[in-house]
Structures are given as C-alpha cells and as structure tokens.
C-alpha cells in the first residue's frame, strides 16, 4: 500500500477540507518536523512525501530509498534539492496560480492601512486621544488617497498583474519595473530607477534569485519619494532589512508593509523587530497567501498532483 507522509500539516489552515487521494493508501500527518534526522526517520518508509517548507536536501534524499514523489503544497521550492531528486528519479510537483486573488488583496490591505494612517489612528483611539481632542476629529497621522497616485510593481507575473488590475480600478497609474540593471525589455516596462524615483507605492512581486536579492537597499531608498510606501508580499531577501529600518528612521520613506522576512520566523536580532511599534510599519506572518479560498485551491491541486502521479501522468513537475 502506498504510504504518504505529510511532514508539516500545521502549515495548512484548519478551515481547509483536506481531502485525500482517491487510491488506496496509508496517510500519516505530522504537525511539524525538524530538519535533518527527523525528516529521514519519518520518511524512511514513505512512497510520497507532502511537504511545504521543511528542507529535504541531498543528505536526506540519499537515505530515502523508497521515496518516489515529493508533493509541495506551495509554489516556492527552494527548500528542496531538485537536482538530487532528479538523479534519484523522484518526481517533485508544486502548485501554481492559487494565490492570484489573495496576495493582491493582502497587498492592498497593507497599502490602505498605511496610506490612510489606520494603524496609528486605531492606537490613538485605544490610548484615549479622541476623548482628549475636544472635537469630532483630530489629525495625528497623514491621510492620502490612492486615486491619482503611482504604483511601481517589481515583478510582472500573475501576482503583479493582479495588483495592477486592482490599482487601475482605484485610479492609480501603474508602472512595471524593468529588471534591475537590464535594458531593452520593451515598452511595457519602465526603467527600474525611474520606478523607484517616481512611485508613491512600490510593491514587490518578484522571485528571490541572486539577481534580485537585496535589489532594494539604501541606494534605492535614497532615490525614493519621501511619501513612498514599500510593500513586500513576495519573498524575504528582496529588500535589505537593515537598510529599510535605517530608511524609516531617517524619514527617507513614509512606511513599510511586509508579509515576508529574510528568515521566518524572524531571528531575535532581525532589525525590523525594533520598529514594529511604529504606526507606519506593518509586519504580518507570511499569511498573504492564506485566504481560506486560496488554501483550498492549493490543497486540491496538491491532491490532484498525487493522484496524477499514481496514475502515471505526473503534473506540475519541477524537472
């Protein structure tokens, strides 16, 4: 009987209907799994591994003689040694296109909250400042409309396109940034530096690669408009976090909304932890992807890939 082991069940929300594959199988759930030896211990008799973020590297793959497939309930696959899987003929499948609504919506939730000072005003009301104001309103945080402003989008894939659709509906001017240091990409792209210099909101929707790591750092912050917001619902590592904190403290930008960090959960010395109390900073725990609807789509795709593999027609394979 096919043995399927889910190494990190806790990465899928409790509202999701976790339907199982249609063929006869044994299913084992683990809420979380430590990297290294525990991976090998739990997968030593598995035919199929379901794993979101627990690293499965060459050292583990070489000890897993029975493993035939890794099903990733996510798009990102940097936790897995794809070359080692290919050498062992282990099929690896991921999910795609499930977050086309949830990530753009979360992006704009952050933008609205920062652009209209909602975090700061909420805290003011909690602190009793409304009662102290002596009138029906007060103005302790700037409020700006999005209509008529410019949004610069770094990353032109489905998520970046989804953000652009919402932005245009709100009356924003949309710029897609050309790849940093690359010219000649065509009229749909605006030079990277021009996007950095002219956008009121800059939002990241690019993959993390050597060419994109820390593509926003102090040189870019110094070029930004002082009223600019920086949003990252894509990948930690696209922005130099120490430089971001310095830019906020120096008033080089107006605010930041991040759903991803370089290390997750954040290390105690992550510089962003020092500024979480600021009204112009919002950090959410990598949940932009996690609407109930998106997670259900993600899981349904994952199970479909397992069924397809068992039927001899693997889908969404990574090699």
Q: Which residues are catalytic?
A: 235, 264, 286
| Three-state secondary structure call for residue 185 | coil
Cβ burial, residue 31 (10 Å; 0-12/13-18/19+): exposed
Question: Using an 8 Å Cβ cutoff, are 155 and 178 in contact?
Answer: no
SS3 call for 242: helix
The C-alpha atoms of residue 315 and residue 144 are separated, in whole angstroms, by 46
Structure tokens at 109: 């939730």
Dihedral angle of Cα 114, 115, 118, 124, to the nearest 10 degrees: 90
Nearest to 70 by CA among 59, 55, 29: 55
CA 128 to chain centre: 35
Q: Which residues have a Cβ under 8 Å from the Cβ of 311 and sit 6 or more positions away?
A: none
The region, left, alpha or beta by phi > 0 then psi within -120 to 50, assigned to residue 171 is left
16: nearest Cα among 310, 261, 295: 295
């Amino acid at each position: 009987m096919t043995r399927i082991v889910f190494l990190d069940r806790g990465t899928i929300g409790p509202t999701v209907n976790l339907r199982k594959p249609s063929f006869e199988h044994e299913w084992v759930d683990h809420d979380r799994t430590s990297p290294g030896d525990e991976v090998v211990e739990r997968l030593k008799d598995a035919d199929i591994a379901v794993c979101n973020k627990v690293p499965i590297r060459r050292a583990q793959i070489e000890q897993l003689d029975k493993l035939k497939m890794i099903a990733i309930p996510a798009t990102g696959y940097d936790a897995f040694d794809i070359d080692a899987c290919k050498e062992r003929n282990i099929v690896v499948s991921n999910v795609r296109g499930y977050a086309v609504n949830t990530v753009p919506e979360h992006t704009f939730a952050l933008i609205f909250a920062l652009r209209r000072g909602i975090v700061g005003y909420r805290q003011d009301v909690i602190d009793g400042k409304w009662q102290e104001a002596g009138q029906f309103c007060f103005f302790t945080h700037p409020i700006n409309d999005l209509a008529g402003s410019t949004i610069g989008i770094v990353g032109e894939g489905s998520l970046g396109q989804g953000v652009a659709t919402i932005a245009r509906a709100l009356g924003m001017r949309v710029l897609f940034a050309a790849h940093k240091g690359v010219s000649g990409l065509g009229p749909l792209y605006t030079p990277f530096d021009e996007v950095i210099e002219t956008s009121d909101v800059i939002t990241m929707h690019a993959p993390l690669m050597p060419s994109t790591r820390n593509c926003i750092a102090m040189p870019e912050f110094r070029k930004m408009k002082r009223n600019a917001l920086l949003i990252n619902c894509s990948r930690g590592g696209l922005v130099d976090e120490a430089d971001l904190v310095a830019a906020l403290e120096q008033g080089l930008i107006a605010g930041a909304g991040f759903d991803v960090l370089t290390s997750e959960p954040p290390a105690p010395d992550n510089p962003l932890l020092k500024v979480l109390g600021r009204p112009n900073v919002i950090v959410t725990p990598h949940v932009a992807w996690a609407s109930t609807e998106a997670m259900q789509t993600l899981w349904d795709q994952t199970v479909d890939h397992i069924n397809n593999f068992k039927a001899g027609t693997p889908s969404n394979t990574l090699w």
